[in-house]
Amino acid sequence: MASFPGRPSFLGLSPFSKIKKMKRLVSTLLFVLTGLSAAQTPSLVFNHVTVIDATGSPPQPDMTVVIAGNRITALDKTGEATIPKNAQVVDAAGKFLIPGLWDMHTHVQDGFPGAGEEKSLSPFFKLYLANGVTGIRDMGGRHLDWFVRMRQEVADGKRLGPRLVTAGQALDGPHATDSIKLPLSDTTMARQVVREQKQRGADFVKIYERLPREVYFVVADECKKQGIPFAGHVPVGLSAAEASEAGQSSIEHLGGGRIREACYLFEMENVASPAADPDPQLTAKLQEVLASFWNGTHHAELLTPTLNAWLESEAGQSILKTVAAEQGELLSFTFRKQTLTDGGRVIHCKAVFEKKTRFYKFPIAEDGKIDWIGDEPDLYSKVKAAELFARFKTNGTWLCPTLTALRAFHRADPNVMNDPRLKYVSPWLQMMMHPQNDSRYKNWTALDFEWAKQIYQLDSTLIRKMKDAGVEFLAGTDSILDFCFPGFSLHDELALLVETGLTPMEALQAATCNPAKFLNMADSLGTVEKGKIADLVLLEANPLDDIHNTQKIAAVVRNGRLFSQAELQKLLAEVETAASKK
């Protein structure tokens, strides 16, 4: 049974509903909230510190913050607070105190071969703490039972680490690609899997993108019945709006393109009698071309160089096959029209599948490169985007963009192998991180990489628009996947959120108070306020002046325990040593 503090109330159930005796429930809850190690330490005091409480209020200069046990017991102007006897006093003049950070999309369990071995994986916990990340949401891995045990040991103070929230194996379609994912094609089995994951201690159910449409809705229904949330990808057979309506608590990676589809690129067929094909000869050629790739073969003649490069790539062929598996066979592909805009052209086509119909638009510039940004005024539908964003807000659907992972994937830059942070991961993981070893890029051309970069730019522009519409965001990285480092990459994510147009405060909130709200733990965590649990980060410079200042860490407080800069450096050194021995 998880507890951190208490199993998070976002499950919709009492965290100790199976405990029969009230006395045991009360004593267990008090133990978790107080923490033995914190209770046995003297009071901790920060003097002359500037408090950035993450509520959106202005910084509070020259404050004294008193911590007793694991709680903030006083927060007053320096000179007005009572300093407890024998307290450990830290002179924090010129420094800034923020809430502990959360990484809301991690994969701790899959860092090394033989995942589940404590000696291989627990060093990641130290990387998070050394970077001021005092809580993580793990988005699924091979060993739920191992992670549940780690969660309990961390909560009990037996193991050093951040607060832990976890899913079990991600629920995927019948052709799941690895052991992180659980293949599902049967609705009866889907209900059983949801019940089993909850029984084994999962905090939520993770959805992956090849989960069949009918199975997805059964999973959603069973999650509601079991009182356990579900989150993750938007399956290819669904729209982002449908996932939101079904009650998916968070959408990762900007929906894997499903949000972009709703705002820019795809339209559902709504007319009973579509317009006649203006060029049957071209349509026949398109049908022949796509049918050849549908079957995994190659066709020499294609409409454009960019479309050709995409269809020749492993990613393009994989997408076609995935769409075929999830939506049915391609029945027809019809050329509709082309639009010329400022020297570029947009090819409009209609694909009819066994189960769905969609319009496809390919914006092509004169040089043959995809031109998403240049044609944005013609492609972006403010009305449809507003409808989707309003739906997210109404349904309480959170977005976890994982820009760090998206940028890494779209760049696939071999220069990343010069990153000094590689010393904290094993040689095996370094090998797995190298773009040249990633099969997704095997057949990519220069046009593919250019296209991918522009897609990233297009996706990232949606974040500010969603924020303005009231959509809430969570900061997550997808570490250790796609060249994301535990702990370190959370700071990269905050900087990327600011690049998209969020303010430094909004980015900071995505890693502090927003996760607390999402997990229904805002009464205890997420802000620097009296009565809250002391998960804190002391910074050398103001992150509201420059979000990169979150990396200038002077100290970390985890559940009331102070980690000095020297102790944080010691944690990093221990991980570096452990990684070098793998």
pLDDT in tens, 420-447: 998 998 887 888 777 777 777 776 766 6
Segments making up each domain of the chain, as ranges: 264-374
Please provide the distance, in angstroms rounded to a whole number, between the alpha carbons at the two ends of the chain. Answer: 32
DSSP annotation of 496 reads H
DSSP annotation of 582 reads -
Residues in the chain: 582
pLDDT value at position 298?
53
The mean-pLDDT minimum among 127-131, 269-273, 419-423, 575-579 falls in 269-273
Contacts of residue 220, defined as CB under 8 A and 6 or more positions apart, other chains included, come to 230, 246, 247, 248
DSSP annotation of 274 reads P
pLDDT at 17 over 70: no
- Report the alpha-carbon distance of residue 183 to residue 172 in Å, rounded: 5
Which whole number is the average pLDDT over 223-228?
98
pLDDT at 496 over 90: yes
The CA–CA distances, whole Å, from 366 to 64, 70, 228, 346, 371 equal: 62, 62, 51, 11, 9
- Report the alpha-carbon distance of residue 452 to residue 456 in Å, rounded: 6
| 296 or 154, greater pLDDT | 154
| 582 or 455, greater pLDDT | 455
35 pLDDT band (50/70/90 cuts)?
very low
Contacts of residue 394, defined as CB under 8 A and 6 or more positions apart, other chains included, come to none
pLDDT at 34 over 60: no
Tokens of 543: 């992150």
pLDDT at 26 over 50: no
The CA dihedral of 527, 528, 532, 536, to the nearest 10 degrees, is 90
pLDDT at 286 over 70: no
pLDDT value at position 171?
95
Q: What are 501-555's pLDDT values in tens digits? A: 999 999 999 999 999 999 999 999 999 999 999 999 999 999 999 999 999 999 9
pLDDT value at position 110?
47
| 396 or 239, greater pLDDT | 396
Strand partners, 359: 267, 350
- Report the alpha-carbon distance of residue 363 to residue 342 in Å, rounded: 12
- Report the alpha-carbon distance of residue 459 to residue 8 in Å, rounded: 31
| 289 or 159, greater pLDDT | 159
Cβ atoms of 126 and 571 within 8 Å: the answer is: yes
369 pLDDT band (50/70/90 cuts)?
very low
- Report the alpha-carbon distance of residue 528 to residue 509 in Å, rounded: 12
Cβ atoms of 96 and 53 within 8 Å: the answer is: no
The mean-pLDDT minimum among 301-305, 478-482, 520-524 falls in 301-305
Per DSSP, the residues of 135-170 read EEEE---S-HHHHHHHHHHHHTTSS---EEEEB-SE
- Report the alpha-carbon distance of residue 98 to residue 51 in Å, rounded: 7
Helices 144-155/187-200 angle, 10° precision = 30
345 pLDDT band (50/70/90 cuts)?
low
| 137 or 279, greater pLDDT | 137
pLDDT value at position 312?
63
Looking at this protein, which amino acid is placed at residue 168? G
Tokens of 579: 């990684």
pLDDT at 453 over 50: yes
Q: Domain 264-374: state its class.
A: alpha beta
- Report the alpha-carbon distance of residue 313 to residue 330 in Å, rounded: 19
The mean-pLDDT minimum among 183-192, 310-319, 370-379, 479-488 falls in 370-379
pLDDT at 224 over 70: yes
- Report the alpha-carbon distance of residue 182 to residue 184 in Å, rounded: 6
